[in-house]
Amino acid sequence: MSKHLLKFTVNGKDHALVVNSHDRLIDVLRNELGLKGTKEGCSTGDCGICAVLMDGKLVNSCLIFAIQARNRKITTIEGIGTAEEPHPIQRAFMKWNASQCGYCIPAMILAAKDLLDKNPNPTMEDIKHATSGIICRCTGYLKIFEAINTAAIEMKAESK
C-alpha cells in the first residue's frame, strides 16, 4: 500500500508526515498530531461531530482521506482558543453553560466560527442552519444557539 508525504498546515503550524493512502484526516489529526479535541462520532458523515475547518470551511474530517488535505490549512478546536485565552465563542458557550456532555462542542464551536467569519450578523435561522449538520445527543441545542448569538453580539462589539 502506498505511503505519501503529507504536507499541510494545522493550526498555523506546518507539518510534513508520512501517511497511508487509507488514513483519514481525523486519524492523522488525533493519532499522529495528538489533537484529541476532534471527536469521532458516526464515521459516516451523519453526525458532524468530527468537523474541522479546511481553508476556512467546515468539513467532516472522517470523510476526507488525509492525503487529500495536502497543501491545505486545517483549523481544529485547539487552534481556536486555549483555557487561558478562550475565543469569544468559547466564552459565550461557558456563559450559557451550553456544553452538557461536551462531545459535540468542538464541532459546534467550529461551525459557529465558520458562520461568524462569513456572516457577523446572523439570524437565529442562520445559526440553526450553520449547526444543522451536527447532532447534539444531549439535545442541548437551545443554549448552543443562544451562545452563538451572544458570541456574534460580543464579537461585533469588540471589533468596534
Partner 1 sequence: MHRFDMFVPEDLEDLLKYVDSHQSGVHVIANGTDLINRIQRKQVTPKVLADISGLNELSYVRKEGDKLKIGALTTISELISSPIITKHYDVFREVAAKFGGPSIINMATVGGNICSASSSEDLLPVLLVLNAEVRLRSLRGERTTTVEEFLKGKRATALKHNEILVETIFRELEPASTCSFDKVGMRNSLIIAFVNSAVYLKLAKAGRLVEDIRVAFNRVNGKIPQRARHTEEKLRGMKLSEESVAETVRALKHELKLTSDFRVSEEYRVDVASALFKRMLNRCSEKLVGERGIV
Nearer to partner 1, 95 or 128 (CB): 128
Q: How far is the CB of 132 from partner 1 (least distance, A)?
A: 4
How many chain residues are in contact with partner 1, going by CB under 8 A? 33
129, 142, 153, 156: which one binds partner 1 (CB under 8 A): 129
142 class by beta-carbon count within 10 Å (0-12 exposed, 13-18 middle, 19+ buried): exposed
- Does 127 interact with partner 1 (rule: CB under 8 A)? no
Going residue by residue from 44 to 73, which x/- string records binding to partner 1, judged by CB under 8 A?
xxx-x--x-----xxxx-xxxx-xx-xx--
Radius of gyration of the chain (CA): 16
- The total of other beta-carbon atoms located within 10 Å of residue 125's CB is 8
- Nearer to partner 1 by C-beta: 35 or 58? 58
- Any contact of residue 97 with partner 1 (CB under 8 A)? no
Q: Residue 37 has which C-alpha cell?
A: 479535541
Question: C-beta of 148: minimal distance to partner 1 in Å?
Answer: 13
Nearer to partner 1, 111 or 144 (CB): 111
DSSP string covering 99-139, please? -SS-TTHHHHHHHHHHHHHH-SS--HHHHHHHTTT---TT-
**Pairwise CA distance, residues 89 & 151, whole Å:** 5
Binding site for partner 1 (CB under 8 A): 1-2, 4, 21-22, 24, 43-46, 48, 51, 57-60, 62-65, 67-68, 70-71, 111, 114-115, 129-134
